[in-house]
Structure 1
């Protein structure tokens, strides 16, 4: 074989290799693009869900509307996938969402698929909410019921706190434990409960407890979904994906929305697999109310002791940000909003401040 024959063969091999690499690169780009697109769809849907999750009712009561949150989530996802008016496609997409969890102040709900037997004796599948499950932890002496904040429910199994043998349930802020039960914490032979006296340890235990319980529930319903999915011809093995702490921890202080989207086919043989989470932006301590003074308005955080004290509430509407209050011409309360702009005449500790005497 002459030299130019080798050269031609080399060029052909090189060109073939380049074409194959280009095809592979284009395929990877397409897969990555499709993956990013679904990520955006899911992020948008979960953000839409949390905007409907929390409502502010009368007397500053926070209402969790998990049904509206799921409706908003689903409508957003259907719209992104272009199936808003296609019921069959919607049901098909839903089968790749094995479980959703919603957290409330003192417990959480899961939304999953369940089988039941109808009156005709046949088996059917429905999607529904579980009962609310508490954030609990237990040791030899206590059952701890945690919340998304500092309040706890404490079941004293052995009557240790009141120096008796009566089982008692207490509901209180954990930081008041040492004040309310000094004898128990001063006793040399008391069981060790260091997290009740240490804010950092309390937060660690609280979040670990909530995260672990929700993760266990979601793992169970994700695994259980394999039986449901198989009846619809889905062969994917549903299992809870690894979840990083940063996907949990930011959303354990306020109501949150957590979802598994798994097994959805896209591209050439690819499947989508992701845990997504988001938290509501509205909590009780972030809501503001306006108080009418002599010629100006004062905005207070909802828990401020000086809100409505000897004053007149401007209206019953909760304001969700300082910016909304300022647009009403209101000044900040120097007690609960110390870093904001204050009215020069207003003294929250003087009941006649800023009013006609």
Structure 2
């Protein structure tokens, strides 16, 4: 009996530190998980707010009415300012300039996805007005969604099937929706809608990925000088998420390197403005009369004169509905 008691006591003495250590690890894991969830919520909210602000401007009419989607005005400065303001608010440093400066160091890049091109808001070194070297977030020039095929034809893609093409053979330019310029341009990529969409998406995503990798790697050269002991990398983003990124005008934000217990926070968030998903009505002129039709419901070889996002706008500009069961062709 004494032997059993001694063995029981001995086992407890051996296992007790293990149970205590395991319980401590479990508490740390719970705390890290709670912090990560709070950070995720803060960054998601900031990115969604930035996406909404992306379409804000001083003219209310411009916010709600426009002739063509490619002419949508995006306010990238307002979007970035809104992103950081919301981020500061959720991290409890809205009135703490020092804290804001530290948090900014953990944002290696923001990407603004526009209709016919994109912008990077990332760290770079430049000479300020006083002639001193300074490292700050700065805007890149607008970068088009460009692509060249094996025949040397060049394309400027958009977030839908509107495209600008330069034919290599005679340097002739074509502009319009794929279906409208396919036969005239005689460029094979424009013939099939599925192939065109696949190449368009792949090309845009590749451009975004390459630039993102470049700017994040560039920030690694600056971050140590800013006191950030972390190696920034592109987070793992699924192909589905990348495709979602180029479905809409929006904001892609990256936040990395925030110390979080024994590890570092590394995540990204996507905020879409759902601009391209609005219905599009094409306005054409056939037999001297102005007609409009919903682009996904009718097939017409007439050149699009104007585009509208509602039937009311089309009618207000003198267009009447086109009977899609009859249609018109040149």
TM-score by length of 2: 0.79
Alignment partners' CA distance in 1, 2:208 and 2:183: 32
Alignment partners' CA distance in 2, 1:310 and 1:232: 59
How far residue 306 of structure 1 moved from its aligned partner, in angstroms, is: 4.5
Alignment partners' CA distance in 2, 1:213 and 1:172: 22
Alignment partners' CA distance in 2, 1:310 and 1:120: 57
Q: How does 1:30-179 map to 2 (within 5 A)?
A: 30-55=31-56, 57=62, 60=66, 62-118=72-128, 122-139=132-149, 140-159=151-170, 167-179=171-183
* Deviating 4+ runs (over 6 angstroms): 333-336
Aligned to 2:5: 4
> CA, structure 1 residues 306+49, in 2 after alignment: closer, same or farther (shift >3 Å)?
closer
> Would the aligned equivalents of 1:148 and 1:252 in 2 still touch at CA under 8 Å?
yes
> CA, structure 1 residues 121+63, in 2 after alignment: closer, same or farther (shift >3 Å)?
closer
Q: Which one of 302, 305, 315 corresponds to residue 309 of structure 2?
A: 302
List gaps (5 residues or longer) in structure 1.
Answer: 160-166, 186-192, 289-299, 312-332, 337-357
TM-score by length of 1: 0.73
Q: CA RMSD in A?
A: 2.6
Aligned to 2:264: 271
Give CA deviations for 1:77-98 in whole Å, capped at 9, x if unaligned. Answer: 0000000001111011011111
Q: Which one of 253, 269, 278 corresponds to residue 259 of structure 1?
A: 253
Aligned to 1:339: none
Q: Which structure is higher in RCO with an 8 Å CA cutoff and minimum separation 6?
A: 2
How far residue 303 of structure 1 moved from its aligned partner, in angstroms, is: 5.4
Across the two proteins, how many residue pairs are aligned to each other? Answer: 286
How far residue 334 of structure 1 moved from its aligned partner, in angstroms, is: 8.6
Alignment partners' CA distance in 2, 1:19 and 1:126: 46
Give CA deviations for 1:122-169 in whole Å, capped at 9, x if unaligned. Answer: 42112211110000111333011100111111011212xxxxxxx122
Q: Which one of 208, 233, 245 corresponds to residue 202 of structure 2?
A: 208
